[in-house]
Amino acid sequence: MAKWGEGDPRWIVEERADATNVNNWHWTERDATNWSSEKLKSLMLGLKVENEEGCCEVTEVSKVEGEASINNRKGKLIFFYEWNLKATWTGQSKTGVKYKGTVEVPNLSDENDMEDLDISVALNKDEPDTPLTALMKTKGADRVREALGSYVGFLKTEFTQGMILPTANGVAKPQATSQSKAKMDKTQISSSSSTAAPVNTGVKIPTCKFTLKDKFLTSPADLFRVFLNQEMVQAFTKAPASVDGTRGGRFRLLDGNVLGVFTDLVFDEKIVMKWRYNNWPSEHYATVSMTFVDLSSATELKVEYRGVPENEEERTKEGWKRYYFEAIKQTFGFGARLL
């Protein structure tokens, strides 16, 4: 028998103020079905692709059937999800002819990797043949796959907040377990923004405004394109990203830790976006206005920020300087070289 005070640490509850699930030993489960259903709809609805033949957009998510849950056992998170999805896409050719079709994903599951998803794209039976079907089967399917990958990332970061409780020795680090492994970004932006769950404060929060400037050894057109091109964004962030570089288009960077929407685009001159870290109060976005000034041999980028939470000012400044400005210069060679 153990001596007084030397019992199994799994049962020592005095060291936690709330005496709850000490050292994360007990099995706990959280139902993620309703949250997942809404998240899947929001990620898929409005997805757009286009080429020389026209454009296509997901205009309705008609079926989201399935379930999702997360279990915590001994500090390990185990993910279960299985979904059958169906959506409607609408296409419009360059000549103005409209078409409709469907997108079906029958096997979004923790047992399947993203590349193994069955994404079935079809044109409605009463519609005439159109090259837009091929566009949806290629680029459209890729965008759907990216959106579903983002869902898995959100499930493993945003929804799991608070499932790993502090232990007697500090805060336990969650160990995610499932067959589909989410990549964890190692930058300051990612690690900092995933430390707290988004909360809806219900009250006005104090905010601030500030301006940052920097120079890049490239043309305004080339620098402008860096922020709107998905492949280029993935290159300088060194992480998966989803970027719809159109007015009203959404973006998600660093496994969903940074997200927003482009509200105004003046090509080669100005980008205005709603921008946020995912742990800011729910639905709170800062307004970020980027102005590209042609200096002949370089481009001056002036970035104005409004509505940044006061306690996030320094982190936002440092994040933009390091993970936008410096990263872009290093990745694309737009920085000045000191001799």
pTM above 0.75, yes or no: no
What band does 286 get if pLDDT is binned at 50, 70 and 90?
A: very high
Mean pLDDT of 65-84: 81
Q: What is the pLDDT of residue 192?
A: 43
In terms of CATH architecture, what is 207-332?
2-Layer Sandwich (3.30)
What band does 160 get if pLDDT is binned at 50, 70 and 90?
A: low
Q: Could you give the count of Cα atoms lying within 13 Å of 9 in the half-sphere of its Cβ?
A: 8
What band does 2 get if pLDDT is binned at 50, 70 and 90?
A: very low
What band does 117 get if pLDDT is binned at 50, 70 and 90?
A: confident
Q: Are 22 and 168 in contact (CB under 8 A)?
A: yes
Paired tokens of 183: 């990549």
Q: For residues 279 and 28, which has the higher predicted lDDT (pLDDT)?
A: 279
Q: What is the pLDDT of residue 40?
A: 92
Rounded Cα distance, 38 and 159, in Å: 12
Rounded Cα distance, 23 and 298, in Å: 55
Average pLDDT over the chain, rounded to an integer = 79
**pLDDT for residue 182 is more than 60:** no
Q: Percentage of the chain with pLDDT > 90?
A: 46
**pLDDT for residue 202 is more than 60:** no
Q: What is the pLDDT of residue 111?
A: 83
Mean pLDDT of 206-234: 92
Mean pLDDT of 219-225: 92
Q: Where are the beta strands (DSSP E) in 47-161?
A: 48-51, 54-73, 76-93, 98-109, 120-123
Which backbone phi and psi does 105 adopt, to 5 degrees?
Answer: -130, 100
Q: What is the pLDDT of residue 75?
A: 59
**pLDDT for residue 35 is more than 80:** yes
Q: Are 173 and 75 in contact (CB under 8 A)?
A: yes
Asked which of 130-139, 276-285, 317-326 is least confident by mean pLDDT, the reply is 276-285
**pLDDT for residue 7 is more than 70:** no
Summarize pLDDT for 245-276 with one digit per residue, the tens.
999 999 999 778 899 999 999 999 999 999 99
**pLDDT for residue 170 is more than 80:** no
What band does 171 get if pLDDT is binned at 50, 70 and 90?
A: very low
Mean pLDDT of 16-44: 70
Asked which of 57-66, 74-83, 127-136 is least confident by mean pLDDT, the reply is 74-83
Q: Which residue, among 118, 182, 124, has the nearest Cα to 153 in the 3D structure?
A: 182
What band does 121 get if pLDDT is binned at 50, 70 and 90?
A: very high
Q: For residues 121 and 163, which has the higher predicted lDDT (pLDDT)?
A: 121
In terms of CATH architecture, what is 28-156?
Super Roll (3.15)
Mean pLDDT of 97-111: 91
Mean pLDDT of 116-140: 91
Report how far apart, in Å, the C-alpha atoms of 220 and of each of 228, 267, 317, 336 are: 13, 9, 22, 16
**pLDDT for residue 12 is more than 60:** no
Per-domain residue ranges of the chain: 28-156, 207-332
